[in-house]
Amino acid sequence: MLFEEKQNMKLYPIADSYSWIVKLISWGVKTVQLRIKLDPLTENNSLQKIENEIKNSIQYCQSHNCQLFINDYWEIALKYKAFGVHLGYEDSFHADISSLHKNKIRFGLSTHDTNELNYALELNPSYIALGPIFPTKTKEMKFSPQGIEKISIWRNKIPKSIPLVAIGGIKLENAHEIYIYGADSISIIHDFMSSSCPEERIKDWLNMANNNEFK
């Protein structure tokens, strides 16, 4: 990723709807992930409805200079030329990575152990995520918390040109340390979603993130 793109993702919140994305952008967020985990086969959540939510989010982010990564739905992301896609380890087996490369769609990959990291490095991703750093209730996972030291281990194994995203249980109060250990970017859900004033919380995050220079 370009230096500016990397700088824009020091804070990388994850939202589950277009309306959250609109709010996050109005508060100054420059990179966001749309993570829709609804079952597209139920009547209320048809695939068409999900596609519209994704399309609207992509178009809104394109006109507001925001780097939007679409979780899972890489075909829809390709169709509407999203900035990027975020894939889990197993999702990436089914995705057309070469089409993403060809169409200059960035893609980030989740990793949880050395096996997944080595696999991710072979795909030349735009960023690599490591999680969960701390315990989290947002996502049920078979991996126990990685701990903060794992960030520096990952940082040393990943080329400097590939940003490292830390995710899982990170709060504003412990975020400074996450950058010190070598993460380029912090991804959050619970911290701002559970805040009584998400706007203020995100603005505090942005101030803190922008005060942490890259090493």
147 binds ligand TZP (CB under 6 A): no
Report if residue 190 touches ligand TZP, rule: CB under 6 A.
Answer: yes
- Does residue 13 belong to the site contacting ligand TZP (CB under 6 A)? no
What is the Cα–Cα distance from 113 to 106, expressed in whole angstroms? 22
Site stretch for ligand TZP (CB under 6 A), options 51-59, 133-141, 151-159, 175-183: 133-141
72, interface contact from ligand TZP, Mg ion, none, CB < 5-8 Å by kind? Mg ion
Q: Does 108 bind ligand TZP (CB under 6 A)?
A: no
3-state DSSP helix/strand/coil percent for the chain, to nearest 5? Answer: 45, 15, 40
1 versus 188: smaller Cβ distance to ligand TZP = 188
**Contact (Cβ atoms closer than 8 angstroms) between residue 117 and residue 111:** yes
- Locate tokens 């994850």: which residue? 14
Residue 150 touching ligand TZP (CB under 6 A) = no
Contact in structure between 84 and 67 (CB atoms under 8 Å): yes
The one-character DSSP state at 41 is: T
Question: Applying CB under 6 A, does 151 fall inside the site for ligand TZP?
Answer: no
Stretch that binds ligand TZP, among 21-29, 51-59, 187-195, 203-211 (CB under 6 A): 187-195
Spatial contact of 109 and 118, defined as CB atoms under 8 Å apart: no
The one of ligand TZP, Mg ion, none whose footprint includes residue 84, by CB under 5 to 8 A per kind, is none
What's the CA gap between 31 and 9, in Å, rounded?
A: 5
Q: Are 205 and 16 in contact (CB under 8 A)?
A: no
Task: Report residue 156 as tokens.
Answer: 């040393």
Minimal distance in Å, beta carbon 72 to Mg ion? 4
- Does 88 interact with Mg ion (rule: CB under 5 A)? yes
Q: Which is nearer to ligand TZP, 64 or 204 (CB)?
A: 204
- Which of the stretches 4-12, 119-127, 130-138, 202-210 binds ligand TZP when contact is defined by CB under 6 A? 130-138
Quickly count: other Cβ atoms within 10 Å of residue 66's Cβ: 20
In the complex with Mg ion, which residue's Cβ is closer, 88 or 198?
88
What CA dihedral angle connects 154, 29, 64 and 215, to 10 degrees?
Answer: -40
Name the binder of 91 from Mg ion, ligand TZP, none, CB < 5-8 A by kind.
Answer: Mg ion
- Binding of ligand TZP at residue 143 (CB under 6 A)? no
Give the number of C-alpha atoms closer than 13 A to the C-alpha of residue 185, restricted to the C-beta side.
30
Residues that bind Mg ion (CB under 5 A): 72, 88, 91
